Each structure stands twice: as structure tokens, then as C-alpha cells.
Structure 1
Amino acid sequence: MIKEMWVLLIDKKDFFFNLLLEHIEISLLAIFIAIIFGGTVGILISEYEKSSKPTLGVINFLYTIPSISMLGFLIPFSGVGNVTAVIALTIYALLPMVRSTYTGITNVDKNILEAAKGMGSTKLQILFKIKLPLAMPVILSGIRNMVTMTIALAGIASFIGAGGLGVAIYRGITTNNTAMTMVGSLLIAILALVFDFILGFIEKRISKRSIKAKKTNKIMGIVAIILVAVITIVSIVPSGKKETINIATKPMTEQYILGEMMDILIEQDTDLNVEITQGVGGGTSNIEPAMEKGEFDIYPEYTGTAWNMVLKKDGLYTEDLFPTLEKQYNDKLKMSWVGMYGFNNTYGLVVRKEIANKYNIKTYSDLKAISNKLNFGAEYDFFEREDGYDALCKTYGFDFKKTMDMDIGLKYQAINQGKIDVMVIFTTDGQLSVSDVTVLKDDKNFYPSYLCGNVVRNEVIENHPEIKDELEKLTNTITDSDMAKMNYEVETNKKEPRDVAKDFLSNKGLLK
């Protein structure tokens, strides 16, 4: 595994380096805001003691909210991406910052403060000349803890389409690439240790009181401020790139591949730049609202999902309803379906082969009799879909012993290890052919059609009609078996989604 991780890191050094920079940028921005705001709050509540209990109580309460819940709460207000990630990280960073500032200041020796007052010092002079300098060791200790925590927590930002090393972790889980997950995790740990070492060095420098040390500290502080200012300006000032088209993909291997196909074609044949936000957590439920806000321009979607989950239609979707689907997307959402790939990635049910053989289970209806003895697993959003868990159980009369929510990339590991007995699959899953499972027949035709195509904002098509031409090149180019094979190449043979996409486009004669 170590060798595999090292080879991956060397081969994809640019990919990991860019993620590392994004991780640092997101983390430092949250840390900077938390230091300014949290430090100010800590000073105020130390000066006005009556406000300390309610203030710390509120911050403590925010700190207890699970990070996923916090991200979900913020998405409707600030959308997906880096802004929401920074806000969430800042909220979690406030507690150690406020508490360390408050504790450091309130523990300053009262006799020293009385002496300062007796000598005629003002409140501001006492605060900045006595309290803060004496409290600084405690404050710095709090900052060190906060920085380490923030860098580690920033990994979850990728769940909502933000950047950082969490992208590697999440992509590794989704594509069954353990080495990528491990490299992403290790780099976050190393980054946290490096920053902790730097802050430890600063803490030691500040503790030195000689005139020479103070002069050196000032020079080092000025240099550090200049460096931070330069980095900030470089990251904010436009780089002069071509206009960017933002593509979003769900956390599924095939969506990674489709996103790369669009990226390759658009950048090859147009003057546009493409930026892909890979594996947005929550899939349609987070991407589609972001499309409406203009945060994303294009994403691959499935007709059955669009009908039931986006348009909130009841009943079974069939492809003869596609004209209605198109019209309502255009009229209500100002979006169009462009480039229907041709494959149908519908849902299916599988059961562990030993159970299927033991009870002679071949259809969904056969499963009903023993469902109360079995554990059922699926990705998170399946339990909330109109055509998801509740509707499936109602149609077939299932009453499973236990359900397990899990990331889409972990399902096959779970069933192969016997953690679950039954699970939802996609008919184009790459791991389906190499797993010890039996695919059951949907004898009541519960699942609708899920043809895959691209949803594009109309404004983008109007401003860049050439995009429509590029996406239409992909119409009816991919069969179910094609997609399953490409997924298999990524998930089992460990190929990169972009390389698989390039090979497919080349075979179709779409690459120059």
C-alpha cells in the first residue's frame, strides 16, 4: 500500500499540489476570520463579565452541531462551494479562540492590574500593555489547537463541492481507490503538523524578552504580514483566464468520467475554460439549487431523478414523458437537456449470493418473506427520494431488520464483508460483475427509466451556443455496457477518470 501511495503521489503530484493549495487557502481564511472575530469577542466578554456565560453558551452550542448538519443548514443561504465551507470552519474555530482569549485575560494577576490602575493607566493601556501581553501564551495555545482542528476539519468541505484535500479522500472512497484516500488523509495530517510546528516556533519567539529578540520578532512579523498580503492579492486578483464554464458532478464514478468528457471536448473545440466541481455531496439535492442560483452551468442528470426529485412528480416515469420533462425544465427552471448519452442507469437490488442460494431468491417479491431477517444498505439520498426506500418497501411489502446509510463508494465493501445483506445498485456499476451478489428481478417494474443527459442553464446556451454543439456530439454514444466497462476501469483497474474519458472519446473519433 505504501508503494502504491507513493507512486500515486508522484504520478498525480500536480493534482495533489493544487488540492493542497486550496486546502491551505480555505483553512487560513477561516483561521484568520476566527482569530479577528473570536479574539474580539473574547476581549469583550472578559471586559464585561456578565456577557461571558451567555456568549460562551451560544458558542458551545454551535460547536456541538455535527459538521455535516452545519453544512446542510448553511447551503440554502450561502450555496455550495468554498464560501459555505469557510463559514462553517470559522464557526467551529470560534470556541477555542474565544475561550483561550477569555481565559488568558481573566487569569492575569489582579495585583498587577491594581498596580497599573494606581499608576494612572487607562483601560485601553491596561488591556494592550498588560492584559494581552500576559495572556498571550494562553491565547497562542488556543490558536495552535484551533489551527490543527480547522485544517483537519477542512477535509469535509469537499462534500459540498469546495476544494481542498478532502476531494482526494472523497474521490478515493467513491472510486474504490484506497491509495488516493490514504494520500489525501496523510497530506492533511502532515499539513496540520507543519502549521503546529510553525506556531510552536512563534510561541517560543514571543516568549523571549531581550531587546535583540524583540527587534528580530518585529522584522519576522512584518515579513510574514507582507507574505500573507501578497498571497491574498494573488488569489483575489483575476488571472486573465478565458471565461469559465462550471460543471458539477455527483459523487459517482461515471459522473466523474462524464464530467471529464465534457471538459475535454469544450476546452478542445471552444475558447472557453472549464472548471469541474467533482462529487458534490447530496447529488441532485445540492447541485440543482446551485444551478438555479447560477453557481453551476452544467451537470449530468438522470430523467427519472429529474421527474420525481426535481419536478416532484408522482408515479412511474417513462421515456414517453420526456417532452413534458423538457418543457417543464425550460419553462420553470430555465434549463435545457442537451446531449442524451444513451445509457440507462436505473436502480436495482442485489442480495448476497449465499442468501439468494439458501432461500432461492430471484425476484424482489421473493425477498419479502425474509426481509425482516436482513440488513439493507443504500446511499444517503436513497432514503429521502420520492422513488426511494419508503416507496420501494410499500410496493413490495419489505420490512428490513435494519437499514444502513453509507457513502455510495462503500456499498460494495459493506456487502462483500457481510455488513449488509441487501443493497441498492446502479445497473452500470463497475464493481457489480466482480462482487459476490445476485441481481434480483424487478417483477413489479417499480423502477422508472433513468436515461442520462446533461442539464444546461439556458443563459449559458444563449451566451455560448457552441457549448450545445459540443454536448450534442455525445448523444447516443454510450451504451449501458460501455458505461459499466468504463466504471470498472476506474474502480477495479485504478485508471483515472480523465484517462478513461480520453480513451472513449478517442475511440469515438471525437478527439483531435
Structure 2
Amino acid sequence: MFRELIQFYSERSDFFLPLILEHLQISMIAIIIATIIGISVGIFIAENKKTSPIILGIVSFLYTIPSISMLGFLIPITGIGNKSAIIALSIYALLPIIRNTYTGIQGVDKDILEAAKGMGSTRFQILLKIKLPLAFPVILSGFKNMTVMTIALAGIASFIGAGGLGVAIYRGITTNNITMTIAGSLAVAILAFLADFLIGIFERYIQNRHHSQKQKKRVVTALLVVVIVFSASLFYVPHQGKMVHIATKPMTEEFIIGEMMKLLIEDRTDIQVEMTKGVGGGTSNIHPAMVKGDFDIYPEYTGTSWSFVLKETTISDEETLYKQLVSQYEQQYQLTWLGLYGFNNTYGIAVTKQLADRYHLKTYSDLASISSQLIFGSEYDFYERDDGYNAMANANDFHFKKTVDLDIGLKYDALKKGEVDAIIAFTTDGQLSDSQIVLLEDDHHYFENYYAGTVIRQETLEKYPELKSVLMLLNNQISEQEMAKMNYQVETEKQNETAVAKAFLVKQGLLEESK
């Protein structure tokens, strides 16, 4: 494994180095914000003790909110991306710095304070010249804990389309790439350890009496300048020409399709493409971001748009449904559907071959007869969809004894290990090629069709009309078998999704091999 990690870091350095820098930038900005607010609030409650129980209680309550929930609360207000991630991280970082500032100031010897008052020092002078310097070691200890925690927690930011090493972790889980997941996790751990180590060195330097106060002030000032400049560079956007932003759901095939669109756009136009892969929550987060203008293009599925976005229940023939879908998207959301790729990635139910053989399972009806003995697993959003778990269970008379929420990248692993007995699958999943996995027949024809296609903002299309002909190159180009094969190449053979996408485009004559 160690050799694999070294090789992975070497081969994918162009992927990892920007993530490390962005991870540090996001963390540092949150740390700076939390430090300024935290020390200010800590001083305030220390000087106004009656407010301390209320403020510390509020901050402690915020600290108990799960990070995923916090990000979910922020999305409707501040949208997805780095902004929401920084706000969430800053909120979580407040408690240790506020508490340590308050504790440090309260711990200053009362006799020293009385002596200062007797010498005629003002309240502000006592705070600035006595309380804060004496409380500094305690404040610095809280700062160190807060820094390490923030760097570690920043990995969750990728769930809402922010950058950092969480991108590698989440993408590794989604594509069943254990090496990428471990590489991302190890990088986060190393950054947190280095931060703890360096702050420890700084702490010892400041407490060393051999260094003059002037030297210490110079070191502190220099460090602050470096941190602020490095963090501010996250907001620096160099002058760019034409640019579009593509988003994808946390699915292997969407990673691949996103790369196809990027390759075609940059090959056939002078438009640059920014990619945000694996946005947590899928359609529930990407669609509002598209309407808002945070994203320009993303791959979507007709069934999801019809049922989940438009809340339609009546299913007509495919041609009529697609026409109505296109019309309603343009009228309600100013979004345009640009063709369909050709494959139908609908839902299905998968079990292990061992279970299918034991109970002679071939259809959903067969599964219903023994469902009360089985555990069912699926990704989180399937349980909340109108056409999801409850509707499926009612339509097929399923009565599973237990349901489990699983990340999309972990469900096949959980199935093979026996942690669940049946899972929701996508019919183009690469892991369905495994001979030990059986996809049951939907004999009740419950699941509708989910044809994949491109959704683009009308405003983007008006700005860059050349995108229409480029994106339409993918129309009817990918079959279910071809999509499943590409998913298998990424998930099982561990090929890079960019290379897989490029090879397919070359094969179809849509891209020159040298590109």
C-alpha cells in the first residue's frame, strides 16, 4: 500500500497539489475569521461576565450541530462552494478560541490587576498590557486546537462543491478507489500534524525569555502577513476570457461525462472550463445552483427532473415527456436541455448471487416474498424522493426488516460484505459486471426511464451560442453497455476518468488522439 500511495502521489501530483493549496487556503481563511471574532467575543464576555453563560451556551450549541447539517442550512443562504464551507468552518472554530480567551483572561492573578489599578492604569491599558499578554499562552493553546480541528474538518467541504482534499476523499469513495481515498485522508492528517508541530515551535519561541519583545513582535507580524496574503490569494481571480462552470453529481459516470464535455468544449472552442465534481446531494443542490448561476452546465436524468424537480407524477410516452420537460425547464427555470446521450440509467435492485441462488430470486416479486428477512441499503436521497423508497416499497409489496443509508460509492462493498442484503443500483453501474452481483427483473415495471442528457443555463447559451453544436455532439453517442463499460474501467480497473472519457471520444471520432 505504501508503494501504491507514493506512486499515486507522483502520478497525480497535478491533481493533489492544487487541492492541498486550496485546502490550506480555505482552512486559513476560516481560522483568521474565527480568531478575530473569537478573541473579540472572548474579551467581551470576560469583561462583561454576566453575558458569558449566554454566549458560551449559544456557541456550544452551534458546535453540537453536525457538520453536514450546518452545510445544509447554509446552502439556501450562501449557496454552494468555498463561501459556505468557510462560514461553516469559522462557526465550528469559534468555541475553542472564545473559551480559551475567556479562561485565560479570567485566570490572570487578581493581585496583579489590583496593583495595576493602584498605579492608575485605565481599564483598556490593563486589558492590553496585562490581561492579554498573561492570557496569551492559554489563548495560543486554544488557537492550536482550533487550527488542527479546522484543517481536519475542512475535508467535509467537498460535499457542497468546495475545494480542498475532501475532493480526493469523496471522489475516491464514489469511484471505489481506495488508494485515492487513503491518499486524500493521509494528506489531511499530515497537514493537521504539521500545523500542530509548527504552532508548537512558535509557542516555544514566544515563551522563550532569551528573545526580546521586539524580536517576537517582528516574528508574529511576519507570520500574520504571510498567512493573510496566502489566504487572500484564494479570492484572487486572474483575468479570464470565456469561462463556463460544469458540475457533476457524485457518480462515476457523471465524472466521465463531465470530462467529455470539458474536452469537447476546450477542443472546439476558445472557452475554458472549470469543473466541480461530485456535488453532494446531487440534483437537490446542483439544480438550485444552476438557477442561481453558480453553475452553467451539468448532466441530468429525465426521470429525476420529471419527478424530483418538476414534481410531476403522470408518465406519458418518452417523446412527449421529453418535450414537456424541455418546455417546463425553459419556462420555469430558464434552463435548456441539449439532447440525450443515448443511455437509460434507471434504478434497479441488486443482490448477491449467493442470496439469489439460495432463495431463487429473479424478480421483484420473488424478493417481496422474503423481504421481511432482509436489510435494504441505498444512498440518502433515495429515501426522500417522491418516487423513492416508500413508493417503491408500496408498489412492490416490500417489507424490509431494516433500511440503511449508504454513500453511493460504498453500497456495493456493503452488499458484498453482507452488511446489507439488497441495494438500489443504477443499470449502468460498472460493478454490475461482477459475476457475484445479480440485478433483479423489475416485473412490475415500477421504475421509469432515466435518460441522461445535458442541462445548460439559457443565459450561458445566449452568451456562448457555439456551445450548442459542441454539446450536441454527444447526442445519442453512448449506449448502456458503453457507459457501464466506462464505469467499470474507472471503478474496477482504476483508470482515470479523464483518460477513459478521452479514449471514448477518440473512438467515436469526436476528438483527435493527439488532443
Give the TM-score band, short-chain normalised: over 0.9
Q: CA 1:400–1:318 in structure 2 vs 1: closer, same or farther (change >3 Å)?
A: farther
- The question of 1:267 aligning with 2:266 is answered yes
SS in 1 for 2:348: strand
Name 1:289's counterpart in structure 2. Answer: 288
1:216 CA displacement: 2.3
Matches within 5 A, 1:111-190: 111-190=111-190
* Cα distance change of structure 1 residues 233 and 181 upon mapping to structure 2, 3 Å threshold: closer
Q: Corresponding residue for 2:195?
A: 195
Specify the SS of the correspondent of 1:428: coil
Which residue is 1:250 aligned to? 249
Which whole-Å CA distance do the structure 1 matches of 2:208 and 2:132 have between them? 16
2:507 is equivalent to residue 507 of structure 1: yes
Give yes or no for contact 2:165–2:187 (8 Å, CA) kept in 1: yes
CA distance, structure 2, for counterparts of residue 312 and residue 175 of structure 1 = 30
Deviation, 1:198, is 1.4
Aligned counterparts of 2:432 and 2:316: Cα–Cα separation in 1: 25
Q: Which residue is equivalent to 1:406?
A: 406
2:99: which partner in 1?
99
1:255-274 Cα deviation digits (max 9, x unpaired):
00001111111111111111
Q: Does 1:352 align with 2:352?
A: yes
Pairing 1:477–2:484 present = no
Which amino acid counterpart does residue 333 of structure 1 have in structure 2?
Answer: Y
Q: Which residue of 2 aligns with 1:434?
A: 434
* Structure 1 segment 290-369 matched on structure 2, within 5 A: 290-316=289-315, 318-320=317-319, 321-369=321-369
State how far apart, in whole Å, the 2-side matches of 1:80 and 1:235 are.
Answer: 16
1:280 is aligned with what amino acid? V
Kept in 1: contact 2:28–2:227 (CA 8 A): no
Tell me how far apart the structure 2 counterparts of residues 238 and 422 of structure 1 sit (CA, whole Å): 47
Query: Residues 76-99 of structure 1, C-alpha deviation per residue, up to 9 Å, x if partnerless?
Result: 111111111011101100000100
Letter of the 1:284 partner, please give it: T
Residue 372 (structure 1) aligns with: 372
* Separation of aligned partners in 1, 2:474 and 2:261: 9
In structure 2, distance between residues paired with 1:428 and 1:229: 47
Give the 3-state SS of the residue equivalent to 1:337 in structure 2.
strand
Q: TM-score, normalised by structure 1?
A: 0.98
Letter in 1 for 2:308: M
Aligned counterparts of 1:234 and 1:263: Cα–Cα separation in 2: 25
Is contact 1:4-1:179 (8 Å) kept? yes
State the distance in 2 between where 1:44 and 1:221 align.
24
In structure 2, what is the Cα distance between the partners aligned to 1:487 and 1:113?
A: 69
Q: Name structure 2 gaps, 5 residues minimum.
A: none
- AA in 1 matched with 2:215: T
The CA distance in 2 between the partners of 1:219 and 1:60, in whole Å, is 35
Q: Distance in 2 between matches of 1:421 and 1:316?
A: 31
Contact 2:432 2:438 in 1 (8 A): no
The structural deviation recorded for 1:318 is: 4.3
Corresponding residue number in structure 1 for 2:224:
225
Structure 2 residue matching 1:409: 3-state secondary structure? coil
What CA deviation, in whole Å up to 9, does each residue of 1:428-470 have, x standing for no partner?
Answer: 0001111522211111110111000010000000000011111
Structure 1 distance, partners of 2:184, 2:329, is: 38
- Equivalents in 1 of 2:237, 2:254: separation in Å? 29
Give the equivalent residue in structure 1 for 2:425.
Answer: 425
Q: Which amino acid aligns with 1:263?
A: K
CA distance, structure 1, for counterparts of residue 29 and residue 20 of structure 2: 14
* Structure 2 counterpart of 1:18: 18
- Residue identity opposite 2:247 in structure 1: A
- SS of the residue corresponding to residue 342 of structure 2 reads coil
For residues 22 and 248 of structure 2, the distance between their equivalents in structure 1, rounded to whole angstroms, comes to 19
SS of the equivalent of 2:344 reads coil
2: CA distance, partners of 1:415 / 1:92: 35
Counterpart for residue 384 of structure 1: 384
Identity of aligned residues (%): 56
1:4 aligned onto 2:18: no
Q: Which amino acid aligns with 1:98?
A: I
> What are the superposed Cα offsets for residues 97-151 of structure 1, whole Å, 9 maximum, x if unpaired?
1000000001111111011001100000000100000000000000000000000
Tell whether the 8 Å contact from 1:339 to 1:473 is kept in structure 2 after alignment: no
Amino acid at match of 2:252: T
Aligned positions, number: 511
Cα deviation for residue 315 of structure 1 reads 3.7
Name the amino acid aligned to 1:14: D
> Aligned equivalents of 2:239 and 2:504: distance in 1?
32
SS of the equivalent of 1:351 reads strand
Amino acid at match of 2:428: T
RMSD: 1.2
8 Å contact kept, 2:28–2:231: no
TM-score, with normalisation over the residues of structure 2? 0.97
Partner of residue 63, structure 2: 63
How far apart, in 1, do the equivalents of 2:316 and 2:206 lie? 67
Report the secondary structure of 1:261's partner residue. helix
The 3 A distance-change label for structure 1 pair 317 and 304 is: farther
Call closer, same or farther: CA 1:230–1:69 in 2, change over 3 Å: closer
Structure 1 residue 227: Cα displacement: 2.3
| Partner amino acid, structure 1, of 2:295 | F
Contact 1:89 1:150 in 2 (8 A): yes
Q: Which amino acid aligns with 2:217?
A: K
Whether the 8 Å CA contact 1:416–1:435 is kept in 2: the answer is no
Contact 2:377 2:405 in 1 (8 A): yes
Query: Residue 509 of structure 1 aligns to a residue in which SS?
Result: coil
Aligned-partner Cα distance in 1 for 2:40–2:494: 49
Shift of 1:174: 0.4
Alpha-carbon contact 1:155-1:164 (below 8 Å) kept: yes
Deviation beyond 6 Å, 4+ runs, structure 1: none
Encode CA deviations 1:30-85: one digit per residue, 9 max, x unaligned.
Answer: 00000000110000000000000010000010001111111111111111111110
Contact 1:412/1:435, CA 8 A, preserved across alignment: no
Q: 1:314 Cα deviation (Å)?
A: 1.3
1:231 deviation in Å? 2.6
